[in-house]
Amino acid sequence: MRVVVNQLAALGLKTGIGHYTVQLLRCLREQAGQDRIDGFPEGWIRSARDFCGRARPYLEGVPTDQSRPGPSPPRSRSLRSKILGTLRQFGRSLMAQHFRLVCALRAYDLYHEPNFIPLPSERPTIATLHDLSVLLHPEWHPADRAAYFEAHFHRGLARCVHFLAISEFGRQEMIRDLGIPPERITRTYMGIRPGLGPLPADQTAQVLRDLGLPPRYLLYLGTIEPRKNILLLLRAYCALPKRLRAQWPLLLVGNWGWNTLAVAEYLHREARDCGVLHRGYVAEKHLAAIYNGARALVYPSLYEGFGLPPLEMMACGGAVLASTAGALVETVGSRAHLIDPQDQDGWRAAMLRMVEDDDWWQSLRSGATAIARPYTWDRCAADTLRVYRSLGGATDSQPAARPYRKVG
């Protein structure tokens, strides 16, 4: 069996889907045996696309460091948006044509799209749907992304013979909101990245010193964007007593996403003076120390299809304060302390208790690594490979388009 996996999401600066694609491909190739797993694109096209992915934040005017994001002048912003939109559309068209050519030349048995919307293909296609937030909550996403999904998502569904969900929460959403038959969806949990686990205290301390970070802190890790609910977190933290904020700063690790002006204004107007530190992108080799150095991970997201950072924190033996949103109850709910994402007073009280009550803190850490242990990329790849093999010889062509239910 020959399978091609679209690895475009893994190029450039990686988010959750990028890490999913990288780790899944790595483990699939280790387990494939006689089967062949190829990534698309390869060669110079992959290098060019990787460069464009890394340059994208700068082209879009989204800073990747600790600077304050500010709006461009309206005319400049409009012109930039039009130029980038044209380039993006041209790039997608070129990539789709090249993909068709590659598939025809190599005669693949199956195509896996790990990032929602598959490229046009004559081969049997499966897609991973990480969540339905762009359909159910378009206000949490840039307008161009929501418009692209509106135009292409349901057409892409009709090209698929099977779907992968990264949590049971996501699988049930797909059944309920898209009308996909349950037998056409397989749940394949995501995994913990290699190298994430408990570290010796002296090793953690050295990395923190090298990065110029404080020796202890509360941690948020992830992109700063509306869905992550950072403004509520900042307000809850700033309401803590001053003496505790002085002892336990709140460290934000992650790039600025889109629509961050309200968060940035509050951060610079009030939160920085209250002990909030923002560190942009951190190299993956430092993440274990970042997690190990934190008193707790605070994760107030409004919606999650899986939620990697809370599980990664548990893999490092850390305590987690997480919201009750989406898949978080399913993945970390048995050990994390869960709080309604809209309950600002609840988040303040939980952070206060986290830094004052050592017994409670230790109780949340106890058994955390055991909760995270079953979530491995080897297991994700094995489950995915079983799906490939069940489909690879079962059909030779795409199914007729299915009228899956349209959200909205």
Instruction: State the pLDDT at residue 373.
Output: 96
What is the mean pLDDT of the segment spanning 80-85? 62
| pLDDT value at residue 64 | 46
Lowest mean pLDDT among 22-26, 94-98, 275-279, 402-406: 402-406
Q: Give every CB contact of residue 41 below 8 A, 6+ residues apart in sequence.
A: 7, 8, 49, 95, 98, 99, 102
The pLDDT score that the predictor gives to residue 13 is 72
Domains for the chain: give ranges and CATH numbers. Answer: 2-191+377-392 (3.40.50.2000), 201-372 (3.40.50.2000)
Kindly tell me if the per-residue pLDDT of 83 is higher than 70.
Answer: no
Binned at pLDDT 50, 70 and 90, residue 100 comes out as confident
**pLDDT the model gives residue 407:** 78
* Residue 180, pLDDT score: 97
Asked whether residue 68 carries a pLDDT value surpassing 60, the answer given is no
The per-residue pLDDT of the chain, averaged, comes to: 89
CB neighbourhood size of 314 (10 A): 29
DSSP line for 18-44:
HHHHHHHHHHHHHH-TTSEEEEES-HH
Q: How many CB atoms lie within 10 A of CB 319?
A: 24
pLDDT of 103-130, one tens digit each?
A: 888 999 999 999 999 999 989 999 999 9
3-state secondary structure of 264: helix
Residue 11: predicted pLDDT: 85
Residue 47 has pLDDT above 80, yes or no: no
Amino acid at 370: A
The number of CA neighbours under 13 Å toward the Cβ of 174 is 28
DSSP codes, 76-123: HHHHHHHHHHHHHHHHHHHHHHHHHHHHHHHT-SEEEESSSSPPP-SS
Res. 307: pLDDT tops 50: yes
Residue type, 233: L
Peptide bond into 226 cis (omega under 30): no
What pLDDT sits at residue 16?
83
Residue 396's pLDDT is 47
CB atoms within 10 A of CB 334: 11
Residue 316 in this model has a pLDDT that exceeds 70: yes
Contact 276, 234 (CB under 8 A): yes
Determine which of 35-44, 272-281, 295-304, 364-373 has the lowest per-residue pLDDT on average.
35-44
* pLDDT at residue 355, as a whole number: 98
- The whole-model pTM stands at 0.88
For residue range 221-247, what is the model confidence (pLDDT) as tens digits? 999 999 999 999 999 999 999 999 999
pLDDT of the residue at 325: 95
Q: What would the mean pLDDT of 49-54 be, rounded to a whole number?
A: 57
Torsion sign, CA atoms 309, 310, 315, 320 = positive
C-alpha 221/C-alpha 251 separation (Å) is 8
Contact by Cβ (8 Å): 323, 298: no
Confidence class of residue 92 from pLDDT cuts 50, 70 and 90? confident
Query: What pLDDT sits at residue 52?
Result: 60
Specify the pLDDT at position 81.
Answer: 61
Among candidate residues 192, 174, 169, 193, the one with its CA nearest the CA of residue 184: 174
C-alpha 203/C-alpha 187 separation (Å) is 37
HSE at residue 205, side-chain half, CA atoms within 13 A, is 4
d(CA 397, CA 123): 6
Cα separation, 142 vs 150, whole angstroms: 12
